[in-house]
């Protein structure tokens, strides 16, 4: 980004008021970047920490134009802004980062699969299906996904019969989207390769991490992935960097992968924004994913993705079956028990299964990091009693 002679940095508009936008605020302050937020409602997570804000609908072009007026760049907390609106903002002279031609590959799974096939990127066998007969012809058991709108396990079905497949078609019809069938992969674990890329083409790759899911939601991340063969780690990073370059991604790209039981890696999903599997970088990397996302979209030189410690473990704090979690009342317990623990709460009300925060533990002993992070997250959630030490 060339100098403008101004003492004030250009405004960066952020669409979406969730915890990802919230966690962009701290590095933005450090970099002197003014943020302007489009929040879906008053008092949402990011709106609590970004004062320059507008409450409105991200699917309304007039609202998008209001929030980006005078902003040099616009970026995103989520991937649900209509592609046509993003092209309209570009025509208005706003730098949309990542751009609509890149972002559509994170918005539409069918588009993503076709493009990755052209790039010869290893993926699960897949096909767009329109009837239950198509699903039977594809082969069951399989995974059905709506091509747009799904996240955190929503819009995904594992089906073993034609009757089970009907629910996916009903949901897709209601949403006006297609259904993608994918093979049910026999995988050892899930991995994630995270990279940052700037408009000038500079890129930085974080260590490949292992993640575990709970009810379709990312629950735990270990950085780096334990016992991952160096060749597979290098292949995962190469795929992420190649995809980022080929799709002209600006900002963070998260490539979610399966490590199969026979020693291969397959691309599962793409996300073009800071990602749950990168939250460990807040405390475990020289430059967090949130800072590197901001640096990238503003075309500033990227920071080092190198880890600060041998191991970092992130565990999400999810709302329990009741609202009996400790959350803010739990801070004295968590901090007193583990002065090295890092706690990140999102300012959200408790709700079963909802992400309301996460903890990071780092050090030289993986088992110790796992125990510390898991204990703290369980205590905040309310799974452990007040007497727990």
Annotated binding residues: 109, 145, 182-185, 190, 268-269
Quote the CA–CA distance of 175 and 148 in Å, as a whole number: 9
CA dihedral 305, 307, 308, 311 (to 10 degrees): 160
- Is 316 buried (19+), middle (13-18) or exposed (0-12) by CB count in 10 A? buried
Contact 207, 284 (CB under 8 A): no
Cα–Cα distances in Å, from 149 out to 154, 158, 171, 179, 285? 8, 17, 11, 11, 31
Which segments are annotated as binding site for ATP?
109, 145, 182-185, 190, 268-269
Residue 356 tokens read as 């309301």
Sheet (strand 179-183) strand order: 126-129, 179-183, 142-146, 156-159
Residue 298 tokens read as 């503003």
* Residue located via tokens 């997570």: 45
Among 165, 167, 194, which Cα is nearest to 296's? 194
């Amino acid at each position: 980004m060339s100098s403008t002679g101004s003492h004030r940095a250009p405004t960066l508009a952020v669409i979406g008021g969730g915890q990802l936008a919230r966690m962009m605020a701290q590095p933005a302050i450090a970099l002197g970047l003014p943020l302007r937020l489009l929040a879906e409602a008053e008092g949402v997570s990011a709106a609590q920490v970004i004062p320059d804000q507008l409450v409105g609908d991200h699917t309304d072009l007039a609202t998008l134009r209001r929030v980006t007026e005078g902003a040099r760049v616009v970026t995103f907390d989520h991937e649900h802004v209509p592609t046509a609106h993003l092209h309209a903002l570009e025509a208005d002279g706003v730098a949309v980062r990542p751009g609509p031609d890149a972002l559509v590959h994170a918005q539409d799974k069918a588009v993503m699969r076709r493009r990755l096939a052209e790039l010869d990127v290893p993926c699960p066998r897949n096909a767009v299906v329109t009837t239950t007969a198509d699903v039977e012809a594809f082969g069951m058991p399989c995974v059905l996904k709506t091509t747009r709108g799904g996240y955190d396990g929503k819009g995904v079905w594992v089906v073993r019969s034609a009757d089970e497949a009907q629910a996916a078609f009903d949901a897709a019809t209601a949403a006006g989207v297609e259904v993608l069938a994918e093979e049910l992969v026999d995988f050892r674990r899930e991995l994630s390769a995270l990279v940052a890329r700037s408009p000038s083409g500079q890129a930085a790759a974080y260590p490949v991490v292992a993640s575990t899911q709970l009810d379709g939601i990312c629950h735990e991340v270990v950085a780096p992935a334990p016992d991952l063969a160096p060749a597979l780690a290098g292949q995962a990073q190469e795929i992420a960097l190649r995809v980022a370059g080929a799709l002209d991604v600006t900002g963070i790209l998260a490539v979610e992968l399966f490590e199969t039981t026979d020693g291969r890696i397959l691309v599962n999903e793409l996300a073009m924004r800071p990602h749950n599997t990168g939250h460990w970088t807040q405390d475990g990397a020289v430059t967090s994913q949130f800072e590197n996302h901001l640096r990238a979209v503003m075309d500033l030189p990227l920071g080092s993705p190198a880890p600060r410690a041998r191991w970092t473990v992130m565990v999400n704090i999810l709302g329990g079956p009741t609202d009996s979690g400790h959350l803010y009342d739990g801070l004295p317990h968590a901090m007193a028990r583990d002065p090295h623990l890092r706690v990140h709460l999102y300012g959200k009300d408790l709700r079963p299964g909802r992400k309301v925060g996460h903890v990071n533990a780092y050090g030289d002993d993986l088992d110790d990091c796992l125990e510390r992070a898991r204990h703290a997250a369980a205590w905040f959630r309310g799974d452990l009693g007040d007497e727990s030490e």
